[in-house]
Every structure is written in structure tokens, then in C-alpha cells.
Structure 1
Amino acid sequence: MSADAATPQHWRIHCDGTAWPNPGRIGIGVVLQAPDGSIEQISQAAGSGCNNEAEARALIAALQAARARGAQQLCVYSDNSVLVEHVSGRAKTRIERLQRLFAEAQSLLASFAGVELSWIPRHRNSAADTLARAALGLPAKPAGRPLSRRRGK
């Protein structure tokens, strides 16, 4: 399924985490959209650690929120390729604290009837990023256009 191929029964999740400084305090942001279009947002501090721990904790919080609301089909979007690669099983880490978080996320993902976990460019995940930063009292990043590979675009 492509990143934009959600069917009417799919819940959409955009998640992001930030660590300030890195490593440092962790903030997570989640935008959870139900099939009926209603949206719930999560913005909370989540301890301390590195940016990849923050991303994993954001995904875990998003999956727990979806599970609590009875979701069965998910389209999950993250702008962190490390998270997507590791949770999808295409990469492995030797860092024990990340292994535990990635395993918890994998276990949660397996509890749903169907899940599509996709990497998206950072500019398409700005709402979740803003929520993660707000959890730490940080301002939103300035809006900008995605970088083009060609000059003058």
C-alpha cells in the first residue's frame, strides 16, 4: 500500500519525537486521525534520551492511543528513517535501550489487523513535530518548502 492509500477504515497516525538537547529531554507528538476524520493530538514530555528514543516513544504512544480507541487498520507515518527501518525489521541495533523500545513498538504493531508503516519527508510531518517540540516548551520550526535537488526551484 502506498503512503496515501488509506482506505475508509484506516486510522492515520503521524508521530514525531524530539530530544533537546540531543541527548536530553524528550518530547513526543502524535496526530491520530480516525476513519471519520476526527483528530486527536498528543503532546507530552516523555523522560530523557536521544532523538531515536524520542521517535520510538512517540510511535509507542501513538499505537497505545490507537489501540485504546479500537483501531484495527493503521497507516503510520514517521520522518525518522532509523525508526522505520528498525521497527520494520530491515535493520538491527546493538544499543540495548533502543532494542527494547523497537521490540515494544513491533509487538504493538503486531496486535493490529493491518499496519502500513511509512517514512515521509520531514516537511510532511510538521504537525507532529510541532507537538513534540511544544511538549518541551520549544517553538515550532519555521515553515519552509522542501529542498529541491536543482537550484532555482
Structure 2
Amino acid sequence: MPDPVSATPPPWIIYCDGSALPNPGRMGIGAVFTEPNGTRHTLSQATNRTGCNNEAELRALMAVLQELQTRDATALLVYCDNSILVEQLGGAVVKPIARLACLFEEARALLKSFDHTRLQWIPRHRNGEADALARAALGIPLKPPAKPSKNQG
């Protein structure tokens, strides 16, 4: 029987994405985040900055983390289709992206402000709603649906 004091609370589920048009260019961020009780929320905004798609994805994650701090969230399960973001923040030993190093440090600090966090890479076709929100923030039409490869399910 699990110890109720040390058991991880049910997590908030987050899907985040970012777009840059052109790349680099104007950035839009999008996210879908769901409370442990099932209540869904969305975020779709254009930033007042220009940058690359990696920066847009990172800013999308940071915007959601800042929002969840105000909602007293403690446990997070974050899904992202950007492997660079997941590698940089997930603890893998990878060469840092110098231009984004300060933003990655800010994101790490935000992640550490929660009791339990897990970052998980997902294929693009499983992140469609967050992608659509990021693109909508910039007025970009939706991408055609990605077709999953046989090994990505």
C-alpha cells in the first residue's frame, strides 16, 4: 500500500507548442493544459518578439509554467514535440544552444518550482491542438495532418 504522505498527486497534463513565421520570425505560442479534475484550459498568443521555432516552443512552456504557478499546481506531466527542448530540460547531457541558454535556465528554474515534473517527447501528430493554437496566434493556416510512421504509433 503506498504511503499517502509521499504519493505523487495527480498531475496537470500539458501539451505545448510554438511557431515562428518565418523561421526565425514572429513567434506564436499555444498550449492545452488540463487540471487533475479534468478541466481543460487553452493558451494562444503571439509574442512581441521574433525568434526561432525552438525559442517559441520554450516560451510556450514557460508561459504555461508561469500560469500554473498562480494556480498552485504541484505535479506536471508535460508533452512536447520538440526533441531539443525535451533533451535540454530533461537532464540529458547535450550541447547547449548558446543563444537560448538563458531561456533554458529560466525554464529549468520554473520547472524546479513544482514538486513533481516529467517532460515527455511526443510525435507531432499527437500535439495537433497545441500546434493549432500556436499557429492561430499568428494567423497561420493549419498544417496538413502529420502521418504517423509505423514506429511512432
TM-score with structure 2 setting the length: 0.87
Q: Deviations over 1:90-146 (max 9, x none)?
A: 2232523x0011111100000000001110111110100000000000111223431
- Structure 1 stretches lacking a partner, 5+ long: 1-6
Distance across 1 between alignment mates of 2:17 and 2:142: 13
Q: Which amino acid aligns with 2:98?
A: I
Alpha carbons 1:32, 1:66 under 8 Å: kept: no
Could you tell me whether the CA contact under 8 Å between 2:14 and 2:78 is conserved in 1? Answer: yes
Distance in structure 2 (CA, Å) of the matches to 1:125 and 1:109:
20
Match of 2:26 in 1: 25
Alpha-carbon distance in 2 for matches of 1:82, 1:10? 23
Whichever residue aligns with residue 44 of structure 1, its letter is: Q
Aligned to 1:120: 122
Give the partner amino acid of 2:110: L
> Does the 8 A contact of 2:45 with 2:137 survive in 1?
yes
> Which residue of 114, 131, 137 corresponds with 1:135?
137
Unaligned segments of structure 2, at least 5 residues: 1-7
Q: CA deviation at 1:56?
A: 0.6
Identity %: 55
Which residue in 1 is equivalent to 2:45? 44
Runs of 4+ in 1 over 3 A off after TM superposition: none
Alpha-carbon distance between aligned partners in 2 of 1:114 and 1:141, rounded to the nearest angstrom: 33
Whole-Å Cα distance in 2 between the matches of residues 71 and 44 of structure 1? Answer: 22
The normalised TM-score by structure 1 is 0.87
Report the secondary structure of 1:138's partner residue: coil
Instruction: Confirm whether residue 102 of structure 1 aligns to residue 83 of structure 2.
Output: no
AA partner of residue 10 (structure 2)? Q
